[in-house]
């Protein structure tokens, strides 16, 4: 009988918190200072995931760090991911099926680069662009564990490319939000197929707290329908 691949929760590893605090503090500084670092993250976030999590992967399953769920020929080929519901305690909801992950990540990264390169977008449009990538990365949930750290690194890199300073409340590690934003992200993820982008405005309201600049002032766009709806 073939043994099932092990579960993986990196935060259970010894010294996880102290190691990740050091790594992510340095990463955030590099994102702010180095355009090449930002471009590398947009190009292939698997490299960043491997950099952050390789030392925590099980010895016989190095592919857990730096490979997408759904990667053919690995133990991740059929790994499905669910999360505990904030809205329906005791229930779970599922993220993108593994077989769809690689192609959907390729598409999302192309879209992200296009959004960053769109010089015609105003501040609200850039906030929605940040939210679009943040939400869809979470919906795809490309990694077995550690998705959130890479998701926040991409957010920081996009915000920096847009010229928005990050607020003091933002961090890549530890996670700077809990149930309120988690609930908004669940609403997005569980929206009917084709209607997900209609929920971007709700998530944007929370993500704006992680940005300084124009998002510290009252916003006339509160409640505005997403342009991606």
pLDDT at 37 over 70: yes
CA distance 94 to 77: 16
Residue 224: its pLDDT value, please? Answer: 53
145-164 pLDDT, tens digit per residue, is: 999 999 999 999 999 999 99
77-114 pLDDT, tens digit per residue, is: 999 999 999 999 999 999 999 999 999 999 999 999 99
Residue 3: its pLDDT value, please? Answer: 76
CA atoms 75, 80, 84, 86: torsion sign: positive
Using pLDDT thresholds of 50, 70 and 90, give the confidence band for residue 227: very low
pTM for this model (two decimals): 0.94
CA distance 97 to 80: 6
Could you tell me the residue ranges of all domains in the chain?
A: 14-67+85-216
169-213 pLDDT, tens digit per residue, is: 999 999 998 899 999 999 999 999 999 999 999 999 999 999 998
Q: Is 84 helix (H, G, I), strand (E, B) or coil?
A: strand
Using pLDDT thresholds of 50, 70 and 90, give the confidence band for residue 214: confident
Residue 216: its pLDDT value, please? Answer: 75
CATH number 1.10.3290.10 is the correct assignment for the domain at 14-67+85-216: yes
Average pLDDT, the chain: 93
Closest by CA to 56, choosing from 141, 169, 173, is 173
Residue 125: its pLDDT value, please? Answer: 93
């Amino acid at each position: 009988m073939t043994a099932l691949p092990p579960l993986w929760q990196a935060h259970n590893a010894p010294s996880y918190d102290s190691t990740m605090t050091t790594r992510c503090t340095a990463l955030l500084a590099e994102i702010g200072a180095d355009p090449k670092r930002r471009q590398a993250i947009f190009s292939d976030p698997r490299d960043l995931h491997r950099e952050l999590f390789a030392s925590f992967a099980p010895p016989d399953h190095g592919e857990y760090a730096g490979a997408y769920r759904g990667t053919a020929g690995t133990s991740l080929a059929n790994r499905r991911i669910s999360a505990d519901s904030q809205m329906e305690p005791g229930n779970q909801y599922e993220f993108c099926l593994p077989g769809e992950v690689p192609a959907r990540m390729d598409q999302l990264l192309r879209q992200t680069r296009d959004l960053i390169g769109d010089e015609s977008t105003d501040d609200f449009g850039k906030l929605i662009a940040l939210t679009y990538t943040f939400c869809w990365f979470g919906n795809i949930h490309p990694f077995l564990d550690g998705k959130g750290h890479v998701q926040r690194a991409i957010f920081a890199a996009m915000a920096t490319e847009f010229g928005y300073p990050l607020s003091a409340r933002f961090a890549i590690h530890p996670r700077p939000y809990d149930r309120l934003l988690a609930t908004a992200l669940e609403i997005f993820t569980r929206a009917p197929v084709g209607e997900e982008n209609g929920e971007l405005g709700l998530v944007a309201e929370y993500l704006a707290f992680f940005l300084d600049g124009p998002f510290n002032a009252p916003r006339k766009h509160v409640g505005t329908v997403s342009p991606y709806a």
